[in-house]
């Protein structure tokens, strides 16, 4: 008997976090489903697609902190790209005939992609598919029109969705803490646990390497962090014989990357790389980590048990990373330097303190991928049985 088909829609915009989580989730889902992942953001080189997952690339669109959509690929107007994506998604739906459609973030975010997602949901509903939403732990909750946004999100969810999957330990974050609408959400909400890549938790070595890894995610918004880390290395780490590795990410502006390479030629112990194959494994061996506090990075910090300093991304009205970092800091799992206080001198002070600090042991559910797969498989089987009755 053939496996049921699951179509997963993912749109990463500011960085690579949504894509990384979608790939980890798709990997877990592939144990129960034929998984087709439709990805709508810029695809960097070297992305590993899990075995058993079919990747379909939509014409890429990106979005800045101002919420404006841009076409990073060619000179077509954004509206033309949106039209093409909508037709591509509908053709894909008709070709694979999914039993489950899983949409990442929408309708609780990504409303600028409504023109392609609502037709997909209408087609899926007409075909009798199970429709679910995949959410990270904490949503942005500081929009100027937050109340109207949340009200619209609940209205769409109630009309189309059969389940909302919140990929968090409910002891850490719950959906109702990020969602404030007058209309009740009638869709069942399931807190699945965090979705981490399917691998063993790295074992901490007896002696960590005297090196600090500074990572900037995709890199598009990492310039300030990386520049401050260079100064922190010069003032705090180099005098103690501690090395620093800067991981710029694939989307850092080339001029900034050249600037960092020039600094590395001048400063002993400073290394610049684009990325590493497995950040979690890398962090498990070093004395410290400096990063932002996106969902996937936070899980890497927890799983590797590395002494970690985070500078949450907070441009525009983004508050998700700050709220995540504050909760993790209260649990003793990392230390935080607010973006508004970032400077070379502040970074140096924080790094000196970090080398003498150890995180608490995390007691969070990190098995959200497998739990999500079991839940969706059960919903799909129930709908199939109801249709056959």
CA distance 343 to 230: 10
Q: Which pLDDT score, from 0 to 100, does residue 72 have?
A: 86
Q: Is 80 exceeded by the pLDDT of residue 322?
A: yes
Question: What would the mean pLDDT of 4-17 be, rounded to a whole number?
Answer: 88
Question: Given pLDDT bands bounded at 50, 70 and 90, which one contains residue 204?
Answer: low
Q: Is 80 exceeded by the pLDDT of residue 139?
A: yes
Question: What would the mean pLDDT of 245-265 be, rounded to a whole number?
Answer: 96
CA distance 24 to 14: 19
CA distance 225 to 221: 9
- Residue 379 sits at the vertex; the CA angle it makes with 377 and 385, to the nearest 5 degrees, is 100
Listed in sequence order, the residues at least 6 apart from 234 whose beta carbon sits closer than 8 Å to its beta carbon are 267, 344
CA distance 389 to 380: 14
* Pair 249, 170: CB distance under 8 Å: no
Q: Which pLDDT score, from 0 to 100, does residue 1 have?
A: 58
Residue 3: count of CB within 10 angstroms of its CB: 15
Q: Which pLDDT score, from 0 to 100, does residue 340 have?
A: 95
Question: What would the mean pLDDT of 196-206 be, rounded to a whole number?
Answer: 73
* Pair 81, 361: CB distance under 8 Å: no
CA atoms within 13 A on the CB side of 39: 24
Q: Is 80 exceeded by the pLDDT of residue 16?
A: no
Q: Which pLDDT score, from 0 to 100, does residue 317 have?
A: 75
Looking at the chain, the whole-number percentage of residues with pLDDT higher than 90 is: 78
Q: Is 70 exceeded by the pLDDT of residue 203?
A: no
- Residue 362 sits at φ, ψ, to 5 deg, of -75, 140
**Which of these ranges, 15-19, 49-53, 248-252, 304-308, has the smallest mean pLDDT?**
15-19
Q: Which DSSP string corresponds to 280-335?
A: HHHHTTEEEEEE---HHHHHHHHHHT--EEE----STT--HHHHHHHHHHHTTS-E
Q: Which pLDDT score, from 0 to 100, does residue 198 have?
A: 77
**Which of these ranges, 79-83, 121-125, 170-174, 198-202, has the smallest mean pLDDT?**
198-202
Name the strand (E) or helix (H) holding 79: helix 78-96
Reported as a single tens digit per residue, the pLDDT across 70-107 is: 898 888 999 999 999 999 999 999 999 999 999 999 99
Question: What would the mean pLDDT of 245-271 be, rounded to a whole number?
Answer: 96
Among candidate residues 377, 199, 211, the one with its CA nearest the CA of residue 286: 211
The more confidently predicted of residues 336 and 52 is 336
Question: Given pLDDT bands bounded at 50, 70 and 90, which one contains residue 202?
Answer: low
The more confidently predicted of residues 139 and 298 is 298
Among candidate residues 129, 126, 202, 114, the one with its CA nearest the CA of residue 163: 129
Residue-averaged pLDDT of the chain: 93
Reported as a single tens digit per residue, the pLDDT across 153-164 is: 999 999 999 999
* Pair 289, 215: CB distance under 8 Å: yes
Q: Which pLDDT score, from 0 to 100, does residue 388 have?
A: 80
Residue 262: count of CB within 10 angstroms of its CB: 11
Burial of 145 by CB count in 10 Å (0-12 exposed, 13-18 middle, 19+ buried)? exposed
Looking at the chain, the whole-number percentage of residues with pLDDT higher than 70 is: 97
pTM: 0.93
Domains along the sequence of the chain with CATH? 5-195+366-388 (3.40.50.2000), 209-354 (3.40.50.2000)
Both structure tokens of 61: 């669109």
Both structure tokens of 20: 């990384």
Q: Is 90 exceeded by the pLDDT of residue 282?
A: yes
Among candidate residues 110, 130, 121, the one with its CA nearest the CA of residue 5: 130
Q: Which pLDDT score, from 0 to 100, does residue 160 have?
A: 98
Among 24-33, 172-181, 377-386, the range with the most confident prediction by mean pLDDT is 24-33
- In this structure, the strands spanning 163-166 and 243-247 are unpaired
């Amino acid at each position: 008997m053939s496996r049921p088909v699951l179509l997963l829609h993912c749109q990463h915009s500011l960085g690579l976090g949504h894509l990384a989580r979608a790939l980890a989730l798709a990997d877990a889902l592939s144990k129960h489903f034929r998984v087709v992942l439709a990805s709508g953001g810029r695809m960097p080189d070297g992305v590993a697609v899990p075995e058993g997952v079919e990747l379909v690339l939509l014409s890429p669109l990106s979005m800045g902190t101002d919420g404006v959509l841009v076409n990073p690929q060619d000179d077509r107007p954004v509206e033309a790209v949106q039209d093409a994506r909508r037709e591509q998604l509908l053709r894909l739906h008709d070709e694979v005939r999914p039993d489950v459609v899983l949409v990442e973030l929408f309708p609780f975010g990504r409303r600028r992609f409504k023109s392609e997602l609502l037709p997909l949901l209408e087609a899926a509903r007409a075909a009798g598919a199970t429709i679910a939403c995949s959410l990270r732990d904490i949503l942005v909750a500081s929009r100027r029109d937050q109340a109207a946004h949340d009200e619209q999100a609940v209205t769409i969810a109630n009309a189309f969705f059969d389940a909302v999957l919140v990929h968090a330990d409910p002891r850490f974050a719950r959906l109702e803490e990020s969602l404030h609408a007058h209309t009740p959400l009638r869709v069942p909400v399931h807190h699945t646990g965090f979705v981490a890549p399917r691998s063993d938790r790295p074992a901490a070595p007896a002696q960590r390497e005297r090196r600090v890894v500074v990572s900037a995610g995709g890199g598009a918004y990492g310039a300030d962090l990386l520049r401050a880390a260079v100064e922190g290395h010069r003032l705090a780490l180099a005098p103690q014989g501690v090395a620093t590795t800067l991981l710029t990410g694939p989307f850092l502006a080339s001029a900034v990357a050249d600037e960092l390479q020039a600094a590395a030629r001048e400063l002993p112990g400073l290394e610049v790389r684009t990325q590493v194959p497995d950040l979690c494994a890398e962090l498990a061996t070093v004395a410290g980590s400096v990063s932002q506090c996106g969902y996937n990075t936070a899980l890497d910090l927890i799983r590797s048990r590395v002494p970690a300093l985070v500078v949450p991304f907070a441009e525009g009205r983004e508050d998700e990373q700050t709220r995540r970092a504050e909760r993790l800091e209260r649990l003793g799992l990392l230390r935080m330097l607010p973006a508004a206080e970032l400077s070379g001198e502040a970074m140096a002070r924080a790094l000196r303190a970090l080398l003498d600090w150890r995180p608490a042991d995390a007691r969070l559910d990190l098995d959200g991928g497998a739990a999500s797969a079991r839940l969706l498989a059960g919903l799909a089987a129930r709908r199939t049985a109801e249709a056959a009755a």
